Chain A
Amino acid sequence: MARWGMVIDLDRCTGCAACELACKSENNIAPVAPDQAEMGRAMSWMKVQVEIEGDFPDTSMHFFPRPCMHCDNPPCIKVCPVEATYIDDEGLVGQIYPRCIGCRYCANACPYTVKYFNWYGPEWSDSERRHLNPDVSVRPKGVIEKCTFCHHRLQKAREDARAEGRELREQDYQPACAEVCPTAAIVFGDLENPNHRVAQLKDDPRATRLMEELGTQPKVYYLRTRE
């Protein structure tokens, strides 16, 4: 059984935010008005956070792409009163939009704050509406949404592999962010499969995980040179 995970090489990340944009268009993430974004209501399943260190002029900038950590021990699924957020056999943490009651308990329980709430119903301009991804359901107002590691792509890849009578290959299932990253800083695959790059990279001496001490067992690894 696969255990899907991601390795993000921060030494390679240029902060271009292509992953953010690719994610938004792949997953039909509704844009919000500037005043709403100002209030902290912008949605970005993948978010490149910027850390600025030091005082001017000796400053350095670090970029930190942050998807859902797809924890093996996710705090969000325990607190959901209706089992609208769940972890599947392959370690993907998903959200059932038609069941979610919008209590936002999972959003509070997530230490990485990766859960987004639809404060209003989604709105698109006509041109955007025509380009919505038919493989991803559009969320109504009042429910939580989050990064899914593009699990709709896994379904499709698996069907293709079955139709062609072969095993699923590493390149068959890649989330939009990993696919689009120009410096290949985002690597995705099966952490249990020794042939996948993530399985090797996660053991890199530069590898860390976010807030490992909480015991959430994130499946997103970060590579960063220690200074």
Chain B
Amino acid sequence: MTEDERVILRPLVETSKRFYVVATILALIVLWGMIAYFLQVRFGLGRTGLNRPEYWGIYIINFVFFIGISHAGTLISAILRVSKAEWRRAITRSAELITVLVIGFGAIQPIIDLGRPDRALNIIFNAQIRSPLLWDVVSIGLYFVACTTYLYVPMLPDLARIRDLGIKTPRLYRFFAAGYTDTPSQRAVLERVIGVLSIIVIPIAVSVHTVIGWIFAMTLRPMWHSTIFGPYFVMGAIYSGIAAILVAMFILTRVYHLERYFKPVHFDYLGRMLLLFSILWFYFTFAEYLTVFYGAEPAEMRTFWAKVTGPFALPFWTMVAGCFVIPLALMARRATRTPRGTLVAGIAVLIGMWLERFNIVVPTSVNPIWELETLGRYLPTWIELSIMAATFAGFVLLYMIATKFIPIVSIWEIEEGRELSVKEVSERVAGYLPESAVTTVGGEA
């Protein structure tokens, strides 16, 4: 067994007592949430804090938030692969795993939100193609398939390796390794497929969060009906995705002792991306709010002031702190772009981005264009909060369990990096430069 195999595969064969304790607590939270959902289905959505005009609440916020996080893996890993960023090798697997799991937890949110979950299949049988909700079903479905494939295919050589080592449930790995034996021709096909997949998933990922933005933008509601929403949502999704990777990497490093793989340089590079996106976030947010403020339409201004100085000022300014001030301050300086610094920034961004989803959904909902006889307000009930807790717990639990079956760092890609890429990269860099008369790098005679 190589050193890489020994370190990376250890979590598959050794499970600490702490793992079981944490898993049990998370499982109990999930169970609690399932009871809450059962009560909601049994008695009706009246058990939530929703009302007229606050038709959408926690579930839709979590839907947008989770699908946003899913841009962690696929998009970032695909972009890094396509751009041949060699530092990706250690982080792609853990990021892609986040993606696949959060899509699932995100996609169930609108179903939890349905008044008639028993009729959910009407979306297929009575599909009405003009509805952005239907576009969403199609694009999330496609995205899930693409991301699952994109997680699975690059995992084949590692699954085959576990099968050959025979360290864990041989039948399972024999099945999932699907006869892969890592012959040169198989490897060539594999690399080709990964290359194609990483191109395909990029537009799909962009489309997914664009369409989620469009769900809001296609209505005539103040501060929803905005053309910026598609790109704004995609940008925010990638931003929260990077933050999620950073937090996951930090925890994985600690619990599975992966310091060899998740080095300070990885945190540093992802921290730089976080810095870039904190500035982009400010740019988009500023552009959106300035446009509303300057136009000063009365209906829009009601929502605007509700956020900036009104009842939603606390979530609004916490969002600004979490999405802009904290990550900018921490990530702009090399001294705080450490694993610990990126952890703090990552958590701030995750909280900030959740609040951003809140600030999009709730203030507009309670301020309809046509002012009602009752004042709009929203206070989530314990049912909604329990289901939300269960969603987060369920995600962490499944991620933990997955680390017991899947090598969380891609072994073959690390080896490939060591054996081939170091040479290939120096040749590639030489290829970027003007040829000098004497050097003969790159195989030229």
Contact = CB atoms under 8 A, between A and B. Distances in A.
Interface of A: 36, 38-41, 47, 49-50, 75, 78-84, 99-105, 107-109, 111-113, 115-121, 141-144, 210-211, 214
B44 A142 contact: yes
B220 A109 contact: yes
Nearest to B379: A39
Given A79-B133, A113-B370, A101 B220 contact: no
Contacts of A99: 119, 122, 126
B44 A40 contact: no
Contacts of A210: 370
B369 interface: yes
A51 B309 CA distance: 26
A107 B376 CA distance: 14
B226 to A, nearest CB: 15
Interface in B395-440: none
A39 B49 CA distance: 8
B356 interface: no
A208 to B, nearest CB: 14
B219 interface: yes
Given A50-B373, A143-B115, A108 B365 contact: yes
A101 B55 contact: no
Contact of B131 (A80, A118, A119): A80
Q: How large is the interface on B (under 10, 10 to 19, 20 to 34, 35 or more residues)?
A: 35 or more
A104 B45 CA distance: 11
A115 B52 CA distance: 9
Contact of B55 (A78, A108, A111, A211): A108
A82 B126 CA distance: 5
A130 B169 CA distance: 65
A51 to B, nearest CB: 9
27 contacts: A36-B46, A41-B46, A79-B130, A79-B131, A79-B219, A81-B127, A82-B122, A82-B123, A83-B126, A99-B122, A100-B116, A100-B119, A101-B119, A102-B119, A103-B133, A104-B113, A105-B131, A105-B133, A111-B368, A111-B369, A118-B44, A119-B46, A119-B48, A119-B50, A120-B44, A143-B116, A211-B370
B56 interface: yes
Interface string B102-134: 000000001001111101101100111011111
Given A83-B128, A103-B113, A108-B221, A113 B53 contact: yes
Interface of B: 43-46, 48-56, 110, 113-117, 119-120, 122-123, 126-128, 130-134, 137, 215, 218-221, 365, 368-370, 372-374, 376-377
A113 B368 contact: yes
A210 B368 CA distance: 14
Given A50-B373, A79-B133, A113-B52, A141 B44 contact: yes
B370 A103 contact: no
B132 A121 contact: no
Nearest to B215: A105
3 A-B pairs with least C-beta separation: A102-B115, A142-B115, A119-B46
Contact of B46 (A78, A111, A120, A144): A120
B115 A141 contact: yes
B373 A49 contact: yes
Contacts of B134: 81
Nearest to B222: A111
A78 B374 contact: no
Nearest to B364: A108
A80 B218 CA distance: 12
A121 B44 CA distance: 7
A36 B137 CA distance: 33
A108 B131 contact: no
A214 B115 CA distance: 29
B120 A101 contact: yes
